[in-house]
Amino acid sequence: MKKLLNLVIVITLTWLISGALFAAPQKDACQAPCGKPTAWDEFNKFELKMTVPKEPGYSSWKGTFDKQSLDIQINVEVLDGKKVTKGKILMVGGRVLATQGPIAEPGDEIDAVDAPILEQELVSRLLGAALPNGPEGTKGMRKIDYKSEKTGIQFATPSAQGFISAPWHVSGDVTVLAPNVVEYQLSLTAAGTGNSAGKGAEYTANFEGRLSKVAGAKIDDSMLLDGWNLFGVGVQNRTEGNGTAVDYGAAPAPAPYKTVADIRKKLAEDDYPGERDPSKNFTGFWKEDCDQAFGLQIMPHGTDGKYSIVFCGPGGCGDPDSEGRITFITKDRNYEVISESEIKERSANGWDTYHKCTKDTHPVLKYKEEVSTAVVGDRSPATVLDRTATPDWTVVRSVPDESGGTMYFVVIPEAKQRDGGYYRGIGNMLCKETPQCSVNFWTDPNHIPESAWMPVPDLAVMTASYNRHPSHAEPRVQAACWLYPTKAIGEAVQCEYQPGAKRPPEK
């Protein structure tokens, strides 16, 4: 990405609406870099002006967020010291971006919306740290003077991320003008904007603005889109060298939308659950290969003929209402019905074919028992083990992954650190049907990182990683190269070199 307001920004694979901005508020003080939502996150209308001392210009945004419709509206004004650039941003339903004005480089349109969202979230985090109960109980103006010596701020949406290194200090004032109307002036000084494992250059910034609440911020359906640049937001593929890179961004919208209503109609079509087909009964357990220990549980849901579809493995099944899809299957664009016992499901890589292996929706799922001491790698024969016994591993922490999805930190017994099937079994259980997910493994719980920013000493002793990604045909398991008896053996199965780690012997 291009430089974005002096902050470290990392594009990930999930749109921001599902994340921090509309999270349920918790009036608790922030205790870790990732923090918790506070009462300050309840505001859905903002004005924000940001300046950096000794640098000319400013960045200014005014916007609203609507939780129910997932709409965003933001007006942009940026002074670079010489000229003022103005523009507008719309996000309709969280999936279609519209821009006006020269506010983003071609190909980096998502940056235009990431910038104000990140800065507004940083302000909310600062206010949440200094006044964790929100403006409640405050009348008139209140001074702020808060310092954190050890804990940085990892402020992020699931689509972009920045980090303020500790120690940091915020001062200024907050003025309650009326119920649900607050103005603020803040000055931030921090050790830098590096990651939690290190520090960048010293960082200072000033923020001033207003927060308020509006009953509804949904974009008017009749709004004309003439003169707007329209983009679909989601996973994008691009060619880089001899390969294909996959990231989350914006690409020109394929459909010619004339009004906001046209966008909503297309989104509704994409979400269409299909039509009831009484002639078919899809109830059962479906797998790509009936010898697999995981697959799709398809069960009737409700009384209108829909089904719930969730992923299941030896560790259990997902929740149908929160982790599955509720659909008729027939004529749902995400599925293609071949017969009552064979369907195709749309995935990031095309279509996956599933077969009904049994009518039982709760079959016993277990990996084939195959004890092996082979070290891991995508080519290792040790890919399956019995996972039905009480697990001897522990998920110590799960954090948002800056590249998308969730990252799990797991402690395993040292005796299992060279077992490929063991790693893959755990990864399959934790990641289930998630399109993007990663699991990192250690034998020493003292080296489990606090966040996705991993210090070098922790990376040096990490034993393996499991990665599920839309660009991979199947999840990848890679062990640390130091686990292999020789460099040649390790590299033959694509071992993973980490900074600070031991190197395997040459011979």
pLDDT of 315 reads 55
Average pLDDT over residues 249-273: 88
Domain assignment of residue 176, given as a range = 16-212
pTM for this entry: 0.58
Task: Specify whether 345 is located in the same domain as 402.
Answer: no
Task: Specify whether 351 is located in the same domain as 424.
Answer: no
Given a cut of 60, whether residue 375 has pLDDT beyond it is no
pLDDT of 208 reads 97
- Structural domain contains residue 81: yes
Residue at a domain's end among 312, 333, 358: 358
- Name the phi and psi angles at 401, rounded to 5: -90, 130
- Structural domain contains residue 498: no
- Structural domain contains residue 235: no
User: How many angstroms separate the Cα of 497 from the Cα of each of 408, 412, 460, 501?
Assistant: 19, 20, 9, 7
Task: Specify whether 196 is located in the same domain as 333.
Answer: no
pLDDT tens per residue across span 381-431: 333 333 324 468 999 988 887 667 889 999 999 888 888 888 888 998 888
CB 372 within 8 A of CB 381: yes
The Cα 269–Cα 263 span in angstroms is: 10
405: left (phi over 0), alpha (psi -120 to 50) or beta: left
- Structural domain contains residue 461: yes
Task: Specify whether 52 is located in the same domain as 191.
Answer: yes
- Structural domain contains residue 389: no
Domain count within the chain: 3
Task: Specify whether 44 is located in the same domain as 177.
Answer: yes
Vertex 447 angle, CA 445 and 449, to 5°: 105
Residue at a domain's end among 358, 382, 409: 358
Task: Specify whether 27 is located in the same domain as 143.
Answer: yes
Provide CB contacts within 8 A for 364, sequence distance 6+. Answer: 388
Provide CB contacts within 8 A for 424, sequence distance 6+. Answer: 376, 383, 384, 466, 475, 477
pLDDT of 109 reads 86
The Cα 333–Cα 367 span in angstroms is: 32
pLDDT of 381 reads 32
* Mean per-residue pLDDT over the chain, rounded: 80
Q: Which of 99-108, 153-162, 469-478 has the lowest mean pLDDT?
A: 153-162
The Cα 425–Cα 386 span in angstroms is: 8
Nearest partner of 452 among 464, 438, 463, 466, judged by Cα: 438
- Structural domain contains residue 252: no
* Length of the chain measured in residues: 507
Nearest partner of 352 among 428, 465, 433, judged by Cα: 433
- Structural domain contains residue 499: no
- Structural domain contains residue 371: no
Residue at a domain's end among 333, 358, 383: 358
Q: What are the start-end ranges of the H helices in 60-109?
A: none
Task: Specify whether 338 is located in the same domain as 483.
Answer: no
Task: Specify whether 184 is located in the same domain as 295.
Answer: no
Task: Specify whether 347 is located in the same domain as 433.
Answer: no
Task: Specify whether 317 is located in the same domain as 197.
Answer: no
Sign of CA dihedral 491, 495, 500, 506: negative
Task: Specify whether 29 is located in the same domain as 147.
Answer: yes
- Name the phi and psi angles at 156, rounded to 5: -165, 155
Task: Specify whether 30 is located in the same domain as 131.
Answer: yes
pLDDT of 369 reads 39
pLDDT confidence of 201, banded at 50, 70, 90?
Answer: low
CB 305 within 8 A of CB 329: no
